[in-house]
């Protein structure tokens, strides 16, 4: 009979909570920016379709914020209950960004309430738009500060560590971990990209169902063009992340590419299997690509796993996590480019049914990319919870009731997930955009033209 392992159950519960929360956190970061883009375009062009787009997106956003509050609270609770030793040691250094994250959320929530309840109450629409700016700043700042905590876990700085205790803490220096710039930028950019594709899928679904209305076409164009911009920025930041890993977390980079021998002109490996001698079979080798990813030029030397203590090796299956993630990125890139090409070609049809179906699939693919990215990030840091200082097994609780908590929180997330989907579905199914435009007396003065 297998003995009870509180570390395993703590990891399972934390993974479940983060995996569920990241869905709503991603929406909470990206959707406000998309709302702002829609409203700004509507104001500048005097286009009622974009203004209605902003209004409808804002309604749905409120539901996801409510669920995100619950799951975010669960994370805070579990940090103290499941990882008490970690919080006792690291809590002093990360207390400031945790506090600032809470402050950023309240800042966002206050202005979101004002924004929602002041539609049509200003003579100047621009005045109403400016109420949304703090919401965008607050949502992104919330992600910024909580990601700083994760960056600190990957490369802790700003303190003295002696006999298992942190002293001489410099909170600002702790927030400025070398992992912070690339990790924060990647989280924000990928959240914007994912939300653009999720909203694009909603419009594509409506068009596929026969709602051939200019409102949905404008929504699809806005979201797909935005997705292209965020895709490019995410790719650039991803390249910088590889260079960060090469310098500060070489064991993670080596494990994700099954790179065992320190060498120059290192190839990047895609797919394959490892044999008993750690030789890669059936994989696709891209010559010099790992050296370029790590240091920017083909002859660069990349540290291999054989030069790192074996008890500090991350699990080698993160190679597959990274490959799957890059496969998702390839799919999203293909779909976005196909849409843009179809939109630019004289005889192209960006609203063809086959392309709409691809766009719909891109939404769950984008969210899975976020999930795989976080799993890769966290598993790739193992065996450390606080890299170089505290192992995951040392930071976990010794409680005998974590398995019960796992069941309780699983049920909670199941209820929240089903409820939020049902509420959002009913909210928009019973109140279609074209019906709302008629009810509000909006005229399609542009005759279906997409600007």
The mean per-residue pLDDT over the stretch 207-213 comes to 80
Mean predicted confidence (pLDDT) in 29-34: 90
* Alpha-carbon distances of 146 from 19, 51, 103, 174, 319, rounded to whole Å: 15, 32, 11, 13, 26
Number of CB atoms found within 10 A of residue 425's CB:
10
Q: Length of the chain, please?
A: 451
77-86 pLDDT tens trace: 888 888 888 8
Rounded Cα gap, residues 275 and 282, in angstroms: 11
| pLDDT bucket at 108, cuts 50 / 70 / 90 | confident
Tokens 């709602």 identify what position?
Answer: 211
Instruction: Determine contact, residues 87/401, Cβ cutoff 8 Å.
Output: no
The pLDDT, as a whole number, for residue 432 is 65
For CA atoms 217, 220, 225, 228, give the dihedral sign: negative
- DSSP letters for 370-437: HHHHHHHHHHTTTTEEETTTEEHHHHS---S-HHHHHHHHHHHHHHHHHHHHHHHHHHHHSS-HHHHH
Look over the chain and give the mean of its residue pLDDT values, rounded to a whole number: 85
Cis preceding-peptide flag for 383 (omega within 30 of 0): yes
Between 186 and 401, the more confident residue is 186
Greatest CA separation for the chain? 73
Q: Is the pLDDT of residue 362 over 90?
A: yes
Q: Which residue stretches of 209-317 are H helix?
A: 214-248, 250-256, 289-295
The H or E element that residue 160 is part of is strand 160-162
393-447 pLDDT, tens digit per residue, is 888 888 788 888 888 888 988 988 888 888 877 767 766 655 555 555 555 444 4
pLDDT in tens, 135-153: 999 989 988 998 998 898 8
Per residue in 252-294, pLDDT (tens digit) is 988 888 888 888 888 888 888 887 777 888 888 888 888 888 8
Q: Position of tokens 């292209």?
A: 228
Q: State the pLDDT at residue 336.
A: 93
**Residue 313 CB-density burial (10 A; 0-12 exposed, 13-18 middle, 19+ buried):** middle
């Amino acid at each position: 009979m297998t003995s009870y392992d509180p570390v395993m159950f703590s990891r399972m519960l934390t993974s479940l909570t983060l995996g569920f929360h990241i869905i709503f956190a991603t929406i909470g970061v990206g959707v406000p920016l998309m709302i702002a883009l829609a409203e700004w375009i509507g104001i500048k062009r005097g286009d009622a379709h974009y203004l209605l787009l902003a209004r409808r997106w804002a309604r749905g956003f409120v539901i996801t914020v409510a669920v995100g509050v619950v799951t975010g609270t669960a994370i805070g609770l579990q940090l103290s209950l499941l990882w008490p030793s970690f919080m006792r040691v690291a809590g002093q250094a990360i207390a400031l960004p945790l506090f600032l994250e809470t402050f950023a959320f309240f800042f966002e929530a206050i202005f979101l309430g004002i924004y929602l309840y002041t539609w049509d109450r200003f003579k100047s629409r621009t005045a109403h738009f400016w109420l949304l700016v703090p919401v965008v700043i607050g949502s992104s700042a919330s992600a910024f500060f909580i990601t700083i905590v994760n960056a600190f876990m990957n490369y802790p700085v700003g303190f003295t560590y002696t006999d298992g205790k942190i002293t001489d803490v410099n909170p600002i220096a702790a927030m400025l971990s070398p992992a912070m710039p690339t990790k924060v930028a990647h989280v924000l950019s990928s959240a914007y990209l994912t939300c653009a594709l999720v909203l694009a899928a909603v419009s594509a679904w409506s068009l596929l169902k026969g709602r051939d209305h200019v409102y949905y076409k404008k929504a699809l164009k806005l979201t797909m063009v935005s997705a292209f911009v965020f895709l490019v920025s995410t790719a650039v930041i991803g390249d910088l992340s590889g260079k960060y890993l090469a310098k500060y977390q070489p064991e993670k980079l080596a494990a994700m590419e099954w790179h065992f021998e320190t060498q120059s002109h290192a190839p990047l490996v895609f797919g394959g299997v490892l044999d008993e001698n750690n030789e890669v079979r059936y994989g696709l080798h891209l010559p010099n690509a790992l050296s370029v990813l790590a240091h920017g030029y083909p002859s660069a030397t990349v540290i291999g796993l054989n030069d790192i203590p074996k008890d500090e090796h991350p699990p080698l299956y993160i190679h597959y996590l990274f490959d799957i993630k890059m496969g998702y990125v390839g799919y999203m890139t293909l779909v976005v480019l196909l849409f843009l090409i179809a939109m630019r070609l004289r005889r192209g049809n960006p609203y063809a049914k086959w392309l709409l179906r691809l766009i719909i699939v891109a939404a769950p693919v984008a969210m899975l990319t976020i999930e795989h990215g976080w799993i890769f990030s966290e598993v790739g840091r193992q065996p450390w919870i606080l890299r170089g200082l505290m192992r995951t097994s040392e930071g976990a609780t010794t409680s005998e009731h974590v398995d019960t908590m796992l069941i309780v929180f699983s049920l909670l997330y199941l209820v929240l997930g089903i409820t939020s989907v049902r509420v959002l579905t009913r909210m928009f199914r019973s109140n279609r955009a074209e019906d709302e435009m008629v009810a509000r007396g909006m005229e399609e003065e542009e005759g279906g033209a997409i600007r």
